[in-house]
Structure 1
Amino acid sequence: MFSGAQISLYPMSDDFVAIILGAIKALEPYRANFRIETDDISTLLVGPPEQLFPAMRDLFVAAAASGKHCVLSATVSRGCPGEPDDPICTPISASIADSPLEERIRQARESVDGAALSGQAVAAQFSLYPLGAGHHMDEIYGCIDFLKSSGVFDRSKNFCTKLRGDAGPVFATLSEAFLRFGAPQGHVALDMTVSANSPSAV
């Protein structure tokens, strides 16, 4: 299954080049399992779906450690029918995606409960899009039930959900939303923005 993310990192600093280049070093442990391509707008990460959010977390935490206001914007996708399969991509395991909805909600909560803390506070907002035929609203409502009990739920907003907390549980929550909701072999997209060190946090 093709899976990947287009990500853009925005440090609000005159020293943005050094912050970005320093943060990219956090992707080194993932390079063996990813195809990484960068242009003047974004960086493409293609690889196993379970590793996408840990890689983005480490990249963002490294940038945010500068103390400067940093924003990460990403579009994440799995199972896109318009993309070729890639040898480095792997399907989502049956244990993650094939269980009944209530069981997936419970498993997602347990996974977030076990997420390691990073020491970096973040806020995030995201929208989940389970695409294709089927009962996609059931999946969305199930995801919302999970989010409200995730421990990092902040509030519902127009067109998206806001999360707030340590980067570890927040990125784990985003990952669980992406991996456990929507058809296992279907096309699922997630749009997200993550912010740290904002001078106007509310």
Structure 2
Amino acid sequence: MFSGAQISLYPMTGDFVGVIMSALGALDPYRDRLRIETDDISTLLVGPPEVLFPALRDLFTSAARTGVHCVLSAAISRGCPGEPDDAICQSTHFAGTMPPLAERQALALAAVEDAPKLDVFSVAQLSLYVMGEDRHMDEIYGCIDFLKSSGIFEKSKHFATKLRGDTGALFATLEQAFCRFGPPGGHVTIDLTVSANSPSPG
């Protein structure tokens, strides 16, 4: 299994370099469990979802705590058949057989309830793609039902679902959407945008 994310962080400030460089320090506790590669467009984080999503959460939260408008754009993927397996990506999320959909939804909701409260408000929109699966829409609709029950659902949009709430719960919800829906060994992706401190009304 290969799992990871290509991410770009956009602070809307003249000191964007300072905000980005400071926020990257939030990745330090995760560097021994992630492979991190940065170029002039994006940063690649490769590793298991249980490390990847807390790292994304802490990176974004660090930037958002500056009070400036920050946006995180991410393409998140697992199980891509075009990527080689990587030992660093071994995850407890994908062990064993896939439980029934209702059981996975219940497990996802329980995980969100246990998320840390970070007192940083953010909004996000995501699109989940389950690839190469005959019943892929069952998995996507099951994920949407989970999102609607997560406590941070705002609305359905064309091509996406919008969430809003504490950043801790938001990234926990994203992790569960990524891991609980679609076959454990299957190719699943999320197209994600997260925003905090926007001057635009909701």
TM-score bucket of the superposed structures, by smaller chain: over 0.9
The TM-score with structure 1 as length reference comes to: 0.97
Partner of 1:117: 117
Structure 2 unaligned residues grouped into runs of 5+: none
- Worse-matched range after superposition: 2-11 or 50-59: 50-59
Q: Is contact 2:125–2:162 with CA below 8 Å preserved after alignment?
A: yes
Note closer, same or farther for the CA distance 1:189–1:92 as it changes in structure 2 (3 Å cut): farther
Partner of 2:199: 199
Partner of 2:37: 37
Partner of 1:176: 176
The TM-score with structure 2 as length reference comes to: 0.97
Q: Is contact 1:97–1:180 with CA below 8 Å preserved after alignment?
A: no
Deviation digits for residues 150-196 of structure 1 (CA, Å, limit 9, x no counterpart): 00000000000000000000111111000000111000000000000
- Identity score, percent: 64
Alpha-carbon RMSD: 1.2
Aligned residues: 202
Q: Is contact 1:127–1:159 with CA below 8 Å preserved after alignment?
A: yes
Aligned residue type for 2:8: S
Q: Is contact 1:96–1:104 with CA below 8 Å preserved after alignment?
A: no
TM-superposed CA distance for 1:49, in Å, is 2.0
Determine the C-alpha separation between the residues in 2 that align with 1:96 and 1:175.
18
Aligned residue type for 2:162: K
Task: Give the SS at the match of 1:40.
Answer: coil
Matches within 5 A, 1:16-55: 16-55=16-55
Partner of 1:185: 185
Determine the C-alpha separation between the residues in 2 that align with 1:47 and 1:87.
9
Q: Is contact 2:105–2:143 with CA below 8 Å preserved after alignment?
A: yes
Q: Is contact 1:97–1:181 with CA below 8 Å preserved after alignment?
A: no
Structure 1 unaligned residues grouped into runs of 5+: none
Q: Is contact 1:64–1:197 with CA below 8 Å preserved after alignment?
A: yes
Partner of 2:144: 144
Tell me which stretches of 4 or more aligned residues in structure 1 moved more than 4 Å: 94-97
